[in-house]
């Protein structure tokens, strides 16, 4: 009896220590990171007069191009809230169009176009594409929007039947002795069908290869396929195949055109594979005033500025979906707590530079939202905004501690979402700040990792070895 009594204080002490530890874990919820609110608010007066960027260099076999966010190249903003609303609406249209495009590829529904027809076919809305680089085409500077969800690179050309307003002059093939039209009976012209979903159309005189790329909102580009010398920094690319757009419609933010970074034969990556080995990477900057990132072509990792080791995962293999970049998402952790959802591992998730907000299957998003709210409790809420349904009023805080978000992939690879990619600042005074994640409509739709969650991450695409890597990096360090 005395022995039992003597053990009581020890057992009670152990019990209290365990209880204290549990209480402490419930209070802290594991991993958190500090969000300094003033640093990540949109600067409404940060627009700069020109999109052109001359900062590029060749280093250790890699070509490094400076990258900028398009919002700082599109002039002053009168109504920032309205612009953000349009961004998210356009982002939703892009996601819907990507889902349609994927379903059409899987089902084999590929349009065969003829004449001057501009059909509403599968595609993506370009208004949402955010990041631009400057290249030299035929001796002329062109600012193009980079997009991993597209394959054909194109720019607006003179003479133009119908063109949108862009900064700087249109590309003029007649001023370049190296420009050549692609013939309609060539294998290059035949490659259009796989690259764009639309077959090439023969012109009448001469028999040139005409292309059409139509997007989900009615925007389009139409013109002829050409070859020209492309200079990426100081690296010349001879006979580069691109679209010379003679009729273009849409809100392209003053850019000259688009750079296709997909996986088909006509993409920039495939056309430069003998030079850069099919490897490219980017680091997307945050929304700080005049923040810049970089697009690196080539696989020499010594030019990266990453602060953590590169974590690789294999690209999911699906011949039908080979133009896209798919990964196998095996889990997500919020504040170090693994989410429990049946959808993990059941299918691939698309990583895309053009989609803004990450979309998750409804079953995954529900548990993620619940866990985030559990760990980020005590803050005043705010109304939802467009596709974002989890918002807070943080105007009374200088900084907040938010739960970390980690995406886990096959091969023990992970994407640790940077603090700049966690909240979407709707109001500049932080009175409406929303969790920058959204749910898909249906469970069988494909999840998408958007560019907002890729900020301050070096994302490496190795198409030759079918793998993709992540590493933390401060993107402004070019």
Residues acting as catalytic residues? 147, 352
CB atoms within 10 A of CB 308: 12
Query: Are the CB atoms for 443 and 450 separated by under 8 Å?
Result: no
Instruction: Pull the structure tokens for residue 201.
Output: 């159309």
Query: Are the CB atoms for 472 and 418 separated by under 8 Å?
Result: yes
Instruction: Pull the structure tokens for residue 339.
Output: 């989410």
Helix, strand, coil share of the chain (percent; to 5): 25, 35, 40
Q: How far out from the chain centre does Cα 390 lie?
A: 22
Query: Are the CB atoms for 90 and 186 separated by under 8 Å?
Result: no
Rounded CA separation 317/279 (Å) = 17
Cis status, amide bond into 159, omega within 30 of 0 = yes
Distances (CA, A) of 154 to 146, 288, 322, 457: 11, 29, 21, 27
Q: Which residue has the tokens 């739709």?
A: 445
SS3 330: strand
């Amino acid at each position: 009896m005395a022995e039992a009594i003597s053990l009581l204080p020890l057992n009670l002490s152990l019990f209290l220590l365990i209880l204290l530890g549990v209480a402490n874990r419930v209070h802290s919820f594991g991993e958190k990171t500090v969000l300094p609110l003033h640093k990540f608010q949109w600067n409404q007066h940060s627009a700069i007069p020109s999109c052109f960027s001359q900062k590029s260099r060749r280093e250790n076999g890699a070509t490094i191009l400076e990258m900028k966010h398009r919002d700082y190249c599109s002039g002053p903003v009168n109504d920032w809230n309205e612009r953000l609303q349009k961004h998210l609406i356009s982002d939703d249209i892009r996601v819907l169009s990507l889902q349609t495009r994927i379903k059409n590829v899987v089902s084999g529904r590929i349009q065969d176009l003829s004449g001057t027809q501009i059909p509403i076919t599968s595609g993506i809305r370009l208004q949402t594409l955010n990041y631009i680089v400057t290249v030299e085409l035929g001796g002329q500077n062109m600012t193009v929007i980079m997009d991993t969800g597209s394959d054909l690179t194109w720019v607006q050309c003179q003479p133009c039947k119908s063109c949108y307003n862009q900064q700087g002059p249109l590309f003029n093939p007649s001023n370049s002795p190296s420009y050549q039209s692609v013939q309609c009976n060539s294998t290059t012209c035949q490659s259009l069908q796989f690259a764009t979903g639309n077959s090439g159309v023969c012109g009448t005189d001469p028999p040139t290869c005409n292309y059409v790329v139509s997007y989900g909102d009615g925007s389009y580009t139409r013109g002829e396929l050409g070859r020209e010398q492309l200079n990426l920094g100081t690296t010349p690319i001879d006979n580069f195949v691109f679209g010379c757009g003679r009729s273009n419609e849409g809100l392209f933010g003053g850019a000259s055109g688009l750079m296709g970074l997909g996986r088909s034969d006509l993409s920039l990556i495939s056309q430069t594979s003998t030079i850069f080995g099919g490897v490219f990477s980017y680091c997307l900057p945050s929304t700080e005033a005049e923040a810049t990132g970089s697009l690196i072509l080539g696989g020499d990792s010594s030019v990266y500025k990453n602060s953590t080791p590169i974590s690789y995962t294999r690209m999911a293999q699906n011949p039908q979906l080979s133009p896209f970049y798919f990964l196998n998402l095996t889990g997500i952790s919020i504040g170090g707590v693994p989410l429990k959802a049946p959808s993990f591992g059941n299918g691939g998730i698309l990583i895309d530079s053009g989609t803004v907000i990450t979309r998750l299957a409804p079953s995954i998003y529900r548990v993620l939202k619940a866990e985030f709210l559990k760990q980020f409790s005590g803050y005043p809420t705010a109304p939802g905004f467009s596709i974002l349904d989890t918002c807070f009023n943080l105007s009374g805080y200088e900084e907040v501690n938010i739960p970390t978000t980690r995406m886990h992939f096959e091969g023990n690879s992970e994407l640790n979402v940077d603090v700049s990619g966690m909240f979407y600042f709707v109001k500049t005074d932080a009175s409406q700040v929303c969790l920058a994640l959204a749910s898909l409509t249906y469970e069988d739709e494909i999840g998408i990792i958007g560019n907002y969650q890729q900020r301050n991450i070096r994302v490496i695409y190795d198409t030759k070895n079918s793998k993709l890597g992540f590493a933390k990096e401060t993107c402004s360090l070019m």
